[in-house]
Amino acid sequence: MRNGTVWVGAGALAAAAILLAGCEDSGITAPTDGSIVITANPSTVTIDPNTTGPTDPETGERIAQSTIVARVFSKDGAPVQNVDVIFSTTGGKLGTAGSPGQAVTPVKTDGSGIAQDILTVRATDPDSIEVSATSSALTQKVTVKKTLVGDNKIPTANINTVPTCVPPAICSQLEGSEVVFDGSQSLDQDGTIVHYRWEISSDDPAPGQPDPDIVEGATALGLTRTYDQPQNLTVTLTVTDDQGATDFDVIPFTITCDNPAPVADGGQDLSRSIPATSSFVVVTLSAVNSTDELPNGIDRYVWTCGNGIAPSAGAAPYEANCRYDAPGVYTARVTVYDKGSTGQIDPDLGTYPCQKQDDDDVIVTVTKLTQ
């Protein structure tokens, strides 16, 4: 014994017992006519790289552990206290540093005759490990089995929609119409998906619309929604398999308004001349032929003259008067705005919901007359 530690090699256990018996701190010698019993709990350890659990502090690899318990009894079956028990193993590592060929620290039995140690098993250790407990001339063995769980394949989350959309195409649906978000095509190659979690966030949710909208559970394969106003959605599906692995899919989805854009019509291109007795000419432009498909009609007409001079109002809302001070070719433009999808101004925003617009250009050619 060196500083209370016995070096165990071939044939050394008996010598170790003699040395221990001769030391003042070696305790009571196990009776030769007694018995020793050894058990392992659990007797089969499982190393699963897909779950949380203890890891080797040196390598970081996943490990499993079994508690090794030895009990020493006298001839008449009474537990023997303060007896040194030496644990050794053919694989793994004992808490008493009892890896094969390494030093072993004896463990003393308690008042119940129990001495115990912890066996740590790594994935690289043998599938069957034999652990021995020796006290004086008494020796017993127990076998610890090791099983390995293969690497879990990550599941695949997959969002499909109705109306059908294949990104990167813009996925959309009209306001007030039903849209389906479907995750049933998500899959797990080596197991099952046990949890679905939907999260839908909006950049402009309608009053009373939850944001984010979260639905989850084992049966939440999909959901159906109807949105009452235009907005941009971000739809995320996260799936979890039976081993705890996750994957997610995310798509943008746009709710559009049921409002076709108006059609701007600034009329035919024009040619006008500055009179010889004047320094300018005023040209009246008209967008009277502009149309809007909805009966809500057109809200307003905005003109630019193309020469940097703001137009004056014409006799009708769709007209504008443009003043041209020099000959040239000018591009006038009219922008036509409709009254949105409802024809009613939003009391909070002060604008028409889903207002659309359209432009049309008119070429104005200006010449100068001479006397």
Question: Any idea what the CATH number is for the domain that residue 35 is in?
Answer: 2.60.40.10
Kindly state whether residues 126 and 178 are assigned to the same domain. Answer: no
Answer yes or no: is 31 within a domain: yes
Q: Which residues are CB-contacts of 181 (< 8 A; sequence separation ≥ 6)?
A: 159, 160, 161, 198, 200, 222, 223, 224, 225, 235, 237, 253
At 358 the pLDDT is 97
pTM for the whole thing? Answer: 0.45
Q: What pLDDT does residue 150 have?
A: 73
Whether 218 and 94 share a structural domain: no
Distance of alpha carbon 73 from its chain centroid, rounded?
57
- Give the whole-angstrom CA distance, residue 176 versus residue 126: 65
* Structural domain includes residue 111: yes
Q: Is residue 361 part of a domain?
A: yes
Phi and psi angles of residue 293, each rounded to the nearest 5 degrees, phi first = -70, -35
The reply to whether 15 and 139 lie within a common domain is yes
Indicate if 125 and 176 belong to the same structural domain: no
Count of domains observed in the chain = 3
The region that residue 343 occupies, defined by phi over 0 for left and psi between -120 and 50 for alpha, beta otherwise, is left
| 59, part of any domain | yes
Among 256, 291, 318, residue at a domain's last position? 256
Q: What is the pLDDT of residue 5?
A: 33
State in Å, rounded, how far the first CA of the chain is from the last one. Answer: 131
**What pLDDT tens digit does each residue of the chain (371 aa) get?**
333 333 333 333 333 333 333 333 445 788 989 999 999 999 999 887 766 677 877 777 889 999 999 999 999 999 999 999 999 999 999 998 755 556 678 999 999 999 999 999 988 899 999 999 999 999 999 999 988 877 678 999 999 999 988 766 778 998 888 999 999 999 998 889 999 999 999 999 988 999 999 999 999 999 999 998 889 999 999 999 988 889 999 999 999 887 889 999 999 999 999 999 999 999 999 999 999 987 778 999 999 999 999 999 999 999 999 999 999 999 999 999 999 888 888 787 788 888 899 999 999 999 999 87
**Two tokens at 107?**
């463990």
Kindly give the pairing relationship between strand 172-174 and strand 246-256: parallel
Same domain, residue pair 130 and 13: yes
- pLDDT for residue 50: 64
Tokens of 45: 């350890």
- CB burial of residue 287 (10 Å; 0-12, 13-18, 19+): buried
On whether residue 248 sits in a domain, the answer given is yes
- Assess whether 192 and 276 both reside in one domain: no
DSSP state letters, 328-367: EEEEEEEEEEE-TTTSS--TTTSS-TT--EEEEEEEEEEE
Whether residues 76 and 209 share a domain: the answer is no
Q: Are residues 276 and 231 in the same domain?
A: no
Instruction: Encode burial over 85-116: b for 16+ CB neighbours within 10 A, e otherwise.
Output: bbbbbbbbbbbbebbeeeebbbbbbeeebbbb
Three-state SS at 18:
helix
DSSP bridge pairs for 145: 44, 128
Residue 326 DSSP code: S
Residue 79: CA atoms inside 13 Å, Cβ hemisphere, count?
12
Q: Are 88 and 172 found together in one domain? A: no
Residue 343 lies in a domain: yes
Q: If you count them, how many residues does the chain have?
A: 371
Do 121 and 183 lie in a common domain?
A: no
Instruction: Find the domain containing 213 and state its range.
Output: 160-256
Whether residues 175 and 213 share a domain: the answer is yes
